[in-house]
Structure 1
Amino acid sequence: MTNTKPPFWRDDRFWRIAGQLIAVVLALAIVAILWINLNRNLQQLGIQFGFGFLKQQASFDIGETPIAYQPTDSYSRALWVGLINSLRVAVLGIIFTTIIGVMAGIGRLSDNWLVRNIMLVYVEVFRNTPLLLQLLFWYFAVFLSFPKIDNQISLWGFLSFSQNGIATPWFNLSPEFAALLLGLTFYTGAFIAEIVRGGISSVPKGQWEAARSLGFNPSIIMRLIILPQALRVIIPPLTSQYLNLTKNSSLAIAIGYPDIYFVASTTFNQTGRSVEVMLILTLTYLTLSLTISLIMNLFNRRVQIRER
């Protein structure tokens, strides 16, 4: 008897590869159609697609400039200033919201009735009210209600609050930056608190009992035994919250903080280059999100339990 090879169209491997190729071809075809339509519409409007406008003079001021910038600089320079402002908020927000979220999540499981219920109120209030409303509250109801700088409120001799923001001997935070940072931090921290609480609750109670039987105090049990095991459950949803915080920073435009979205909107209004500006914004947020995802995925691999 001779073994006859079945036709290739009956091979599952062929259809898996063919399906992927068809999907790629369809995606490229859709992109090509959209690109052709875009060029046709721009030609009808007398506009030529391109990024040459980035070299033109911006002619607008920016409230916060972490790098040197003048209105006589180019649009590309202005967008760099906005990007750095966005990165400042994202990096500090991720750090502070992690601290607050972890503390609140552990507090939700505290044996102390007062601590547990304070954390519960915090989580429910901040998680169930719109972020935009919280940003407006921090900006208008908190920072703009502080006294003027001549009558600023001082705490411990080195921390002062006024309508100009928060000032210390080492830095000065504008009211727009401080309101955005606090709003994003407390809002996202409420979600992270529930993620941490769920991750800790997923650790078997036998781990607690075994650690207590060995004489460890609660802080050491939490830090060295429980949290390392809970990380494999915490990190995946935690990554989503970091991504949400980064993207939600675009709401800075509501309180006048000059992030990348704010600067890009001004650039669009002055140049009329809607397509190019939207592409820049899309690629910017996509790059930030992919970078955060890559870092968190690498960290997630390190904390996963490896079976022998």
Structure 2
Amino acid sequence: MAIAQPALPKAKVAPWNDPVIRGWFFQIVVIGAVTLLAWYLVSNTLDNLHRQKIATGFDYLGREAGFEIGDTMIPYSPADTYARAIFVGMLNTLRVAILGIILATILGTLIGIGRLSPNWLLSRICEWYVEAFRNVPLLLWLFLFYKVISEAFPGPRQAISLLWDTIFLSNRGLYFPVPFAHDVHSWMGLGLLVGIAVAWSISRWAKARQAATGQPFPTIWAGIGAIIGLPLLIWLFGGAPLDFSVPHIKGFNFEGGTVIQPEFTALLLGLVVYTSAFIAEIVRSGILALHKGQSEAAYSLGLSRSQATRLVLLPQALRVIVPPMTSQYLNITKNSSLAIAIGYPDLVASVNVTINQTGQAVENVLIIMAAYLTVSLSISLFMNWYNRRIALKER
């Protein structure tokens, strides 16, 4: 029969030697020190602003802005408020950032795959592309692209006419027709969203069907049909309106239609080619991280090089590619603030004009910081979710 051993008395430890108590103590001290420092900086800043008779607060956002914005996604006039002017600049930043992320991902992936091509000329061209664009500062590329675009094309009166005098290319931008506003357009937008949801559902159903039966399904064509077909059917049932606003020269510029301005083109082009060079190296390293047996197994099954890359290598390389790709997406968003150097009216440009007119620099800088922080955290959250979704599930 086992005899229970008496429990040893617990050694007494002085409070200052207890690691738990000591850890809580130092954390409280650090938090208190940071809070005091923040309180000192804020109170000192407010006192200095009050002494210099500079207004504080965000009441100015409701006042009339009084300045033009050359490129807008929503209606805007100088009679609108500072808040709307800043919102217009934020939309311009989001537009170039989202398009830049999409185009840089596509181009960078193609360049990265091209660097691994057995074709010597193609791989050397891709290598030169990467080395040229990633080793020169982005700001210099923006200056170069803007200068080329603004000087390579003629003025509006001598604009290059395309497609039966409906599209015009000049140093003011690319002018092209747009349909007049119609009630059916909002329904077409709703149909587009429904089509995207249907395409996503078809993709999930096709994957489950193939896993269960081994039979493939033309997911891509079905998705394209849903995304394009639904808005097209709505347009047909809505009377198929074909009234367009066509650009035409009037005075020293064009009227009608819409325009892609050279500042936007130069900024988007600079962000895409610069960031795609980094993405290309990420894609190349992700594919090289895979064991060569993966490609050999794909070739032994009779897959072509493009099929092996698309169906075998890239899906596995995503687990290596996604984390560093997140950093490049954040860089595109933050580097878009260089737009002010070539005159594109982004968030920073709108806020700079607001600072010059109101003198409230602290509040406006906080708005810029909060906007970029929100966008960057949103991108990070989405990419982290996607990274967890494609990660290997451990038992």
TM over 0.5, yes or no?
Answer: yes
SS in 2 for 1:161: strand
Letter in 2 for 1:24: I
Q: Establish whether residue 206 from structure 1 lines up as the match of residue 293 from structure 2.
A: yes
Residues 153 and 162, structure 1, Cα contact 8 Å, conserved in 2:
no
Correspondence for 1:148 among 131, 134, 155: 155
One-letter identity of the residue aligned with 1:116: S
State the 1:232 CA deviation: 1.4
The answer for the alignment partner of 2:171 in structure 1 is 163
Partner of 1:231: 318
Q: Name 2:46's counterpart in structure 1.
A: 39
Equivalent pairs: percent with the same residue?
Answer: 50
What's the CA shift for 1:146?
1.2
Asked if 1:286 corresponds to 2:373, the answer is yes
Partner Cα distance (1:17, 1:156) in 2: 76
Change (3 A) 1:12 1:306: farther
Tell me which residue corresponds to 1:259: 346
Deviation of 1:191 (Å):
0.7
- Could you tell me which residue of structure 1 aligns to residue 91 of structure 2? 84
Distance 1:202 1:278 in 2: 42
**For 2:290 and 2:174, how far apart are their aligned partners in 1?**
40
Q: Say which is worse superposed, 116-125 or 171-180, in terms of deviation.
A: 171-180
User: 1:56, CA displacement in angstroms?
Assistant: 1.2
Q: Which residue of 1 aligns with 2:104?
A: 97
Alignment match, 2:327: 240
Maintained 8 Å contact 2:159/2:168: no
Assess, with a 3 A threshold, how the Cα gap between structure 1 residues 173 and 110 changes in structure 2: closer, same or farther: same
Pair 1:21 & 2:21 matched:
no
**Equivalent residue pairs, number:** 308
Ranges in structure 2 where 5+ consecutive residues have no aligned partner: 1-6, 179-257
Instruction: Confirm or deny: 8 A CA contact 2:66 2:80 kept in the other structure.
Output: yes
SS in 1 for 2:345: coil
Q: Report the CA distance shift for 1:169/1:73 in structure 2 as closer, same or farther (over 3 A).
A: closer
* Contact kept in structure 1, 2:161 and 2:169, CA below 8 Å: yes
> Are the aligned partners of 2:58 and 2:363 in contact in 1 as well (CA < 8 Å)?
yes
Render the CA deviation track for 1:221-248: whole Å, top value 9, x for unaligned: 1112111111111111111111111111
Deviation per CA, 1:193-240, whole angstroms, max 9, x where unpaired? 111111111011111111111111111211121111111111111111
Structure 1, 170-179 or 111-120: larger mean CA deviation = 170-179
**What is the distance in 1 between the residues matched to 2:381 and 2:164?**
41
Q: Could you list the runs of 5+ residues in structure 1 that have no partner in the other structure?
A: none
Note if 1:307 corresponds to 2:390.
Answer: no
On the 8 A contact 1:147/1:153 being kept in 2, the answer is no
Secondary structure in 2 matching 1:144: helix
Which structure's relative contact order is higher, taking Cα pairs within 8 Å and 6+ residues apart?
Answer: 2
CA distance in 2, matches of 1:156, 1:21: 73
CA deviation after TM superposition for structure 1 residue 126, in Å: 0.6
2:65 is equivalent to residue 65 of structure 1? no
Provide closer, same or farther for how the CA distance between residues 107 and 155 of structure 1 changes in structure 2, counting only shifts above 3 A. farther
Give, in angstroms, the shift of residue 13 of structure 1.
Answer: 3.9
1:131 and 2:218 matched: no
- Structure 1 SS opposite 2:174: strand
Cα pair distance change 1:46/1:231, threshold 3 Å: same
Quote the residue 2:264 is aligned against. Answer: 177
Selected match of 1:118 from 110, 125, 145: 125
TM (norm. structure 2) is 0.74
Q: 1:168 to 1:111 in 2, by over 3 A?
A: farther
Change (3 A) 1:38 1:131: same
Instruction: Check conservation: 2:55, 2:360, Cα contact below 8 A.
Output: no
Distance 1:265 1:255 in 2: 14
1:167 CA displacement: 4.2
Following the alignment from structure 1 to structure 2, what is the Cα–Cα distance between the partners of residues 159 and 208?
Answer: 47
Distance change >3 Å, CA 20–CA 213, structure 1 → 2: farther
Return the index of the structure with the highest Cα Rg: 2
Q: Considering only aligned residues, what root-mean-square deviation do their CA atoms show, in Å? A: 2.1
Structure 1 residue aligned with 2:309: 222
CA positional deviation for 1:67: 1.0
Is the partner of 2:152 in helix, strand or coil?
Answer: coil
